[in-house]
Amino acid sequence: MKISILGAGSWGLALGKLLHKNGHGIVFWTPSAKEAELLAKEREYKDKLPGVELPAEFKYLTDMAKATENADMIILAVPSQFMEGTAKLLGECNTPIPIVVNATKGIAENSLKTMSEVILANVKWLSEDEVATLSGPTHAEEVARGVYSAIVAASRNEVCAKIIQEAFSNKTLRVYTSQDITGVELCGSVKNIIAIAGGIVDGLESGVGDNTKAALITRGQAEICRLGEALGANPRTFSGLAGIGDLIVTCMSHHSRNRFVGEQIGKGKTLDDVLANMKMVAEGVPTAHSTYELAKKLNVEMPIVNQVYEVLFKQKNPRDAIEALMSRELKAE
């Protein structure tokens, strides 16, 4: 197939390299002419995916219409805060694409929509049966290097999910299908907030340990399940790759940007200082705000998410946040 990838960050490039290995033709779109020139010349993105050589056959374009022309599949792999603008540009293209894949994890801050909902709202020629989400425990750094991994392709249309499954699967990436796109997207989004909390635990010097981390992951999973239930997701999704699998790897891995943000805050740095020194986006930061608002709107109890929100945006001391969680009213699990 001819596949267009919108976004040339670490995840987009990792997916492009995998798909190229599978025999597909890859074209990237980036709004930055400087980025396109750098990638074409260097064949490596040292700031975002260091040490990974990119195929010479990759094309990098800044014109959305040209980048998506005659494409069989489009993958959106831009940060969540840029999804709406990117989707609007895609919606202005005249040639409808059979399948559009969301590869971004997050919840829109203003509309509180999932990423597939943002795409559908702005790409008018696209139907629910033509949109899918790809999510699971897959760090770009490892997928790009061929580390054995597994992921979920979710679409309400089973045929659409199976086409993606076939396109992406190879000896190092095993793709499972799901029709619970809502659950898969919620898992991929909210786990980043729990990972920030996990990083805070890693950054604190005393009073925390493996017990703390295990409790955090488990109770964080309970919060994700409650939100998913309120939005009609399938409960089984939360015990699968997109759920507990992605939550574990994001809370534990040194590759995790969200865990890194939390760790630096746990060590006493401010959020502004941490973000100012990062070259890539930590999706859990804006998602903490949108999920906090979504839970409030739906009246869903999410105490860990609430405390992360307080730490990030209200400058609450992390130890005070932990004390608040530990001193909540006692209850049955």
Q: Which residues contact 212 (CB under 8 A, 6 or more apart)?
A: 201
Bridge partners of residue 100, in order along the sequence: 74, 131
DSSP string computed for 161-204: HHHHHHHH--SSEEEEEES-HHHHHHHHHHHHHHHHHHHHHHH-
For position 96, what pLDDT does the model report?
80
> Residue 297 class from Cβ within 10 Å (0-12 exposed, 13-18 middle, 19+ buried)?
exposed
Whether residue 94 has pLDDT greater than 90:
no
User: What residues have CB less than 8 Å from 62, skipping those under 6 apart?
Assistant: 29, 30, 31, 32, 33, 36
86/30 Cα distance (integer angstroms): 10
Element (H, E) at 212: helix 210-230
> In angstroms, what CA-CA distances link 293 with 97, 198, 227, 297?
33, 21, 12, 6
Q: What is the pTM of this model?
A: 0.95
Give the closest residue to 104 by CA, choosing from 184, 220, 193, 23: 184
- pLDDT of 98 reads 85
Determine what percent of the chain falls in helix, strand and coil, rounding each to the nearest 5. 55, 15, 35
Domains of the chain: 2-179 (3.40.50.720), 189-326 (1.10.1040.10)
Structure confidence by residue, pLDDT tens digits, 114-150: 999 999 999 999 999 999 999 999 999 999 999 999 9
Tens digits of residue pLDDT in 7-34: 999 999 999 999 999 999 999 999 999 9
Q: Which residues pair with 133 in a beta bridge?
A: 102, 154
Distance, in Å, from the CA atom of 181 to the CA atom of 121, rounded to the nearest integer, reads 16
Question: What does the mean pLDDT of the chain come to?
Answer: 96
pLDDT of residue 240: 98
Whether pLDDT at 305 is above 90: yes
- 314 labelled catalytic: no
Tokens at 51, concatenated? 């040490």
Amino acid, res. 53: E
Whether the pLDDT of residue 279 is over 90: the answer is no
User: What is the pLDDT, as a whole number, of residue 95?
Assistant: 76
Confidence grade of residue 97 (pLDDT, cut at 50, 70, 90):
confident
Q: Which residue is catalytic, options 191, 279, 296, 316?
A: 191
**pLDDT, tens digit, for every residue of 225-274?**
999 999 999 999 999 999 999 999 999 999 999 999 999 999 999 999 99
Res 92 pLDDT > 90: yes
Block residue for tokens 């076939």: 166
Tens digits of residue pLDDT in 28-64: 999 999 999 999 999 999 999 999 999 999 999 999 9
**How confident is the model over 155-179, as pLDDT tens digits?**
999 999 999 999 999 999 999 999 9
For residue 88, the model assigns a pLDDT of 97
